[in-house]
A = this chain, B = another copy of it.
Amino acid sequence: MFNIMNISKVIIFVHPLAMTDHAVNPNVSVDCVIFGFNNQELEVLLIERSAGNTEKVDEIKALPGNLIYEDENLDEAAQRVLCELTGLSNIYLEQVYTFGDPNRISKKHDQDWLRSIRAHPEARVITVAYTSLINKQRFNLTPSSFARNAVWVKVKDVPQLGFDHNEILDKALNYLKHKIYLEPLGYELLPDRFTLAQLQKLYEAILVDTFDKRNFRRKILRTSFIVPLNEKQKGVAHKPASLYRFDKSLFHQI
């Protein structure tokens, strides 16, 4: 017999993604490696997987990622998935590498979890990794979908992740290291106004190296697009540092 209460229950338990009318491609996913900086160390954004319809949290963390829709391209998929899982929107993402080991999602624990959220948990999935650097001050995390929570974890404290996500993180880190040699990406991770010491710490964190303060400052100030503000730090128990900002328009007119 038909009972309106059941319908309501059904609706409640339908997974958010299943409510869209987009067809999902069962074989291709995107994963996002989002880096942040806490003024000391490089961090990466991970999600805590919620176990399907239950309130249980899967204790294994993962990069935010999910299957693509048939009618979106990969860049769009990465933006959408990141937004659905963490609330971050309008993030400029760059493709890093594609991972396609036939067994990359077949570990027992990963399969158990996939069975709780996927129509075809056993289907082979190759995943396209994307990365971005974000200034944590400018964005708020509002996790939803199957992400119970989204958390910043220091890169050097990253635990064993689900799937092949440690490998993906390594690749993204490596990509970042190479890229920062070619482009001044650092400012993406810092507050709008920052000190040269902060910038140096950031480069040292990314490149896992140390630099001479005078040489570093000279090199930064030689570029014309990191410009001094007429402001200084306040309330620090030492000589206050001058603040600088990155000038995008000066950078682009080089």
A→B interface (CB under 8 Å): 25-28, 68, 70-74, 77, 95, 97-102, 124, 126, 128
14 contacts between A and B (CB under 8 A): A25-B27, A25-B124, A27-B27, A27-B28, A28-B100, A70-B102, A73-B101, A74-B98, A77-B100, A95-B97, A95-B98, A98-B98, A98-B128, A100-B128
A99 (CB) vs chain B CBs: closest residue: B74
Question: How many copies of this protein are present in the complex?
Answer: 2
- Expressed in whole angstroms, the Cα–Cα distance for A124 and B71 within the complex equals 9
Contact A72 B25 (CB under 8 A): no
Residues of B within 8 A of A27 (CB): 25-28
Question: In the complex, what residues of B have CB within 8 A of residue A124's CB?
Answer: 25, 70
Contacts of A68 in B (CB 8 A): 100
Residues in B neighbouring A126, C-beta threshold 8 A: 28, 74, 128
Selected from B73, B97, B99, the residue in CB contact (under 8 A) with A100 is B73
Contact yes or no, B25 A71, CB < 8 A: no
The distance from the CB of A141 to the nearest CB of chain B, in whole angstroms, is 27
- In the bound complex, residues from chain B placing their C-beta under 8 Å from that of A70 are 102, 124
Contact residues in B for A72 (Cβ distance below 8 Å): 102
Chain B nearest CB: distance from A40 CB in Å? 30
How long is the Cα–Cα vector from A243 to B71 in the complex, in angstroms? Answer: 55
The minimal Cβ–Cβ distance linking A167 to chain B, given in whole angstroms, is 12
A129 CB to nearest chain B CB (Å): 9
Bound CA–CA A74/B101 (angstroms): 7
A74: chain B residues at CB < 8 Å are: 98-100, 126
Contacts of A98 in B (CB 8 A): 74, 95, 98, 128
* A-B interface, 3 closest residue pairs, ranked by CB to CB distance from nearest: A74-B100, A27-B27, A98-B98
Closest chain B CB from A17 CB (angstroms) = 18
Chain B residues whose C-beta falls within 8 Å of the C-beta of A100 in the assembled complex: 28, 68, 73-74, 77, 128
